[in-house]
Structures are given as structure tokens and as C-alpha cells.
Amino acid sequence: MKLAMFGAGAAGSVFASYLRNGGADIILIDRNEKLMNAVKQNDMTFTIHLQEGGEYHDITKILPGFRAYASAREAFEAEGIVDAVIYMTKAMQLEQAIVDSAPVVGEKTVAVSLINGLGNDDNLLKVYPADRCVIGSGVLGTALRAPGHCVCTPVSGVQMNFGAIERSALTDAVCEELLLRYRAGGCNAEWRKDDIYKYVWKKVIVNSVVNTVCFVLRLKIGEIEADPWGRKLFHDVIREACAVATARGTALDADDFIAHDHQDVVTNVGDYYPSMCQDAFNKRQTEIDVLNGKIAEYGRELGIPTPTCDVLSTVVRAIQGNYDRQF
């Protein structure tokens, strides 16, 4: 089965590297020619930043076998149609990515979104039928040390969840392949055959908590957790998000989320600046609109108060609109 990773930044490169490490036939498509050329010339360097016994150490390997292209048209000329396109752009880029990926998409190509945030399923369904759509997310810290050198900081437990919006023979085949290759590549993956939305929401909540609060406070996850006011912000976002998820049909208990899901993140990646902080370092636009912003939007539609998400969304938008003016 031929897979295409459309979007090979930090997360896309890490997600693709686990698949390639597990033996997948996978190509990379990203308009960043410097990144694609680095992979073409030197293969992908894949580092796992692993915590054992309270200490971090790196396991690094070189992954040959990637073919890398700066456009889907270039990829089609060399590879033809693919069996599945895995979208790993930023959420706000997904609609355009679906258009741009068209050259490698055929009548039986399955669309897979592993992108953070809410609403990615809606964008897929504008173009693809539900029985050719898979959604999911990864619970993995990701970074790029350099073009062609990606770094993963994994958490314990399940690290990748995915499942079809509507199951079919095509989506089942792709999910089976993803499960096989991720597990063989060292990523603890699960194919959620019945309730993928529960896991999509869980990842959204994790990101809405640590990404946004770390961005605003400019601290690592563990540093915020150690501060009572920072910890209160974490917990307030969790409670608002769980209330909204439950009202939309995905029942989540905030106390249970704090005790287990949130604590797992703090324990395993406490010494980590999340991806939204990396956006700030590089003066990029964030995914706030599909995280806390979308939770607040849903809350307004449902009559559920989300004051913490409202304020954090406003602050992040103001910061990212004024990077060059800040002291």
C-alpha cells in the first residue's frame, strides 16, 4: 500500500518516520523545498527523546527509503495515484491542502487527517465521501532540529489513535496498514473502530490545555503544573472542554481527565515546550481557532460558559498579531 504524508513539518515528519520505521511505503509532500531536498539528499534522521528513570536520552536512527516532493503534481509524475493521503498540515491549511493534493488522489484514495483540532472532519467531508475518510491524532511531542531531522518526545500508553468516520472496505484496509506499520515502527497505535471521536476530543483537550497555557505563560508544562495558578488554568480549561464535549455527544469526565490523561502528559513531557510555543519562537500563526477558540465557539452555540477558553483565545490572537511589537 502506498501512503503519502501531505505536510512534513515537525509532526508530519515524526508521524511519517514511525510509519517508515515500520516498513511502510510512504512518500512525503511538502512545499518546503529545503526540507524535501534535505530528505532526498541525506534521508530522514529520526530521534526519539525518551525518558527512562527520570532522565532523558536520545535514540537516533537514519531512515532511508523516503521519496520527497515539493508538490503533489511532482509526486504524481513519479509515483502515480496513492492509496491514502495523510494530511498533516496546520488545521487552517487543510482546506487548501485537500485541493493541492488532488493530483495523487484517485477514486479509491482514502483521506486521513491526523491534524490537531476540531473541525478537520468537516473539511474532509466537503470533498471526500464519509466511507473514504479516516480521522485521528497522535499524543506525541514533535520538533524539527533541522530540515530532515525530526524529534519525537513520546508519552506512555497509547500514542496514536485513528478510525473511520464511516467504515468501509477501503477505510478498513488503510486502518489495518496504519496499525501494522505504526506498531512495527515503535509507536503504540490503536485503531478505534467504534468511537474515534472520543479520542479526537481527548487530544484536542490536551492541546487546548498545554499548548495555550504554555504559550501565554512562556513556561514548560511541568513548570506550570508546579505553580498553583498555572495548574488552575490547566484545570479550568479541562473542565470547560469536557463540558462542551459532553454536550456535543462525547461524554468526558473532567476529574477523570485531570487524574489520568492530563497527569500522563505532565509526567511524560513535563520538560517540554508544546508546538504552540514553537509557533511563538518562530513568529507563526497558531492553531488557536481550532483549539480553545473552537471550544468557545461550540460553547456559545450550546449555551455553555467557557470563560477561560474565551480569554486565552483572545490573548493568543492578540499576541500572534503583534509578535514584532512585544518587549
Angle at 314 between CA 312 and CA 318, to 5 degrees: 115
Give the pLDDT confidence of 243-269 residue by residue, as tens digits. 999 999 999 999 999 999 999 889 888
Residue 111 in any domain: the answer is: yes
Residues 234 and 183 grouped into a single domain: no
Query: What pLDDT does residue 195 have?
Result: 86
> Of 300, 293, 191, 206, whose CA–CA distance to 248 is shortest?
300
- Does the pLDDT of residue 309 top 70, yes or no? yes
186: containing domain:
2-194
Q: What is the mean pLDDT of residues 181-186?
A: 97
Q: What is the mean pLDDT of the chain?
A: 95
What is d(CA 163, CA 159) in angstroms, rounded to the nearest whole number? 14
Question: How many Cα atoms within 13 Å fall on the side-chain side of residue 132?
Answer: 16
Q: What is the mean pLDDT of residues 168-197?
A: 96
Residues 176 and 269 grouped into a single domain: no
Give the pLDDT confidence of 273-284 residue by residue, as tens digits. 888 998 899 899
Residue 227 in any domain: the answer is: yes
Predicted structure pTM score? 0.85
Domain end residue (candidates: 174, 194, 214): 194
- Does the pLDDT of residue 319 top 80, yes or no? yes
Domain end residue (candidates: 164, 194, 224): 194
CB atoms within 10 A of CB 130: 14
Give the pLDDT confidence of 75-94 residue by residue, as tens digits. 999 999 999 999 999 888 99
Domain end residue (candidates: 194, 226, 260): 194
Residues 212 and 251 grouped into a single domain: yes
Residue 327 in any domain: the answer is: no
CA 18, 19, 23, 27 torsion: positive or negative?
negative
Residues 307 and 240 grouped into a single domain: yes
Residues 162 and 230 grouped into a single domain: no
- The domain total for the chain is 2
CATH of the domain at 282: 1.10.1040.10
